[in-house]
Each structure stands twice: as structure tokens, then as C-alpha cells.
Amino acid sequence: MEWRDEGMLISARAHGEAAAIIEVFTAAHGRHAGVVPGGGSRRMAPMLQPGQQLALEWRARLDDHLGHFRPEPLRSRAAILSDRRALAGLNAVCALLHVALPEREPHPALYAATVALADALAAGPGWETGYLRWELLLLEELGFGLDLTACAVTGRRDALAYVSPRSGRAVSAEGAGEWASRLLPLPPILLGAGGPQDYAPAMALTGHFLTRGLEPVLQGRPLPEARARLADLLARG
């Protein structure tokens, strides 16, 4: 079995004396792992950093084998390593991809958004809103996306203020009525308004639905610590 694709490195760990096992998020083959012979060498270390964009060749005797990668560098995003907030954002993205995506299942829309977000993280400040949109897309790709287009009660598209914690549908202040205390606040930044003060409540909202949707995988565990660290950084400004 053999294929060629492009992807972003999610993680790398030592394997034996000289090899490494890497996990990548690819355009056509989803989240995919494989062994890189010689991947533990100093020469290859700079290439096998999370966030790097790679050209990949994967080979295995059978399709269900771990297989071997031959990676080649396409684009470095080393600038992320010198920015604490951007690095926290990248770590959160990689951790969520690892825990949320089934192996070898393509998600082309999410892949394109992930590459764009990684480029934004490397470019400098101003990526935070893009990260929040990325989490909304992740929810959608997993099959439990939010519907923030209109009020679930009145059908109106304005004055949306809440989200049902069960259905994920938006609710206006008028439609919420006496049930408002049982609903989740809808930060304006998720509707294209608001500002940095909305980062923390927005992550609390998406975190609620990620935790609920990923419960079969998490089995009572919290979302990845890397996401919690990002949420803390954004909350502290």
C-alpha cells in the first residue's frame, strides 16, 4: 500500500533508538500515524515539530499496518515557537485533532481551515477569532454543530443572546423568557461582533458542546489540558 499527500504535523515521539512515530493531519487521508526511520536524529528534529507543513509518502505492506512515512518539508511555522499565545493555540489545535478525529477519516473542509489557522498563528497577533471559528467548524465536522442563524423559538435572526445547552440552537432574549437562566450565553464574537472580552465565554460555550459530543471518547475525562491552557491565556488577556 502506498499514497502521497500533504499534511500538518500534529505530534512526534521517539520510537526505538533512531526512529520516530509521527501523527499528521492530511488533506485526503485525515489523521494518520506512521513511523519515520531516522526521525529521532538531530538532522530531522527541526522538520518534525508540530505545525510544520509536510509533503508525505506513506508505505505499508497492508492498509491496516502502521506503515512508514517519508516526509519532506514544505513550509515552516517556526515563528509560532517564539509566541506564547500562538504556541498555546497550536497546541490546542493539535490536541483537539488527536482526541476528536477518527483515524484515517478525511475532513477536507476542516483540513483547509486548520492549515489557514496555522498560517495565521505563524503570522502574528489577530488569530483568536479564527481559532473560535475553527472550533465551531470542528463541532460541525463531528456532527454536533451549533445553529446560530435564527432563534429556535421565534425564528427571528436578530437579538440572539443564548444557546440551548441541549440542541445547540440560538435563542433570542425575547424567545428565552423565563428560561433564560437555563440557557448558555451567546458571546457576540461568535456572531461576528464583540471583542477580546468574548474569548473566554466563547471558549466556555464551544467547550460545553465539545465535552458533550466527545464523551464516548473522553469517558469522563476533561478536554485536553492544552485547550484549558489556551482558554486561561485568553481569559487573562
* Structure confidence at residue 140 (pLDDT): 98
Q: What is the pLDDT of residues 62-120, one digit of tens each?
A: 888 999 999 999 999 999 999 999 999 999 999 999 999 999 999 999 999 999 999 99
* Structure confidence at residue 55 (pLDDT): 98
Percentage, residues of the chain above pLDDT 90 = 96
Separation of alpha carbons 115 and 134, rounded Å: 11
Separation of alpha carbons 53 and 76, rounded Å: 6
Q: For the domain made up of 79-147+186-235, give the CATH fold.
A: de novo design (two linked rop proteins) (1.20.1440)
Separation of alpha carbons 155 and 149, rounded Å: 9
Distances (CA, A) of 209 to 54, 79, 140, 184, 205: 31, 31, 11, 11, 7
Q: What is the pLDDT of residues 20-66, one digit of tens each?
A: 999 999 999 999 999 999 999 989 999 999 999 999 999 999 888 99
pTM score: 0.95
Q: For the domain made up of 2-76, give the CATH fold.
A: OB fold (Dihydrolipoamide Acetyltransferase, E2P) (2.40.50)
- Asked if the domains at 2-76 and 79-147+186-235 fall in one CATH topology, the answer is no
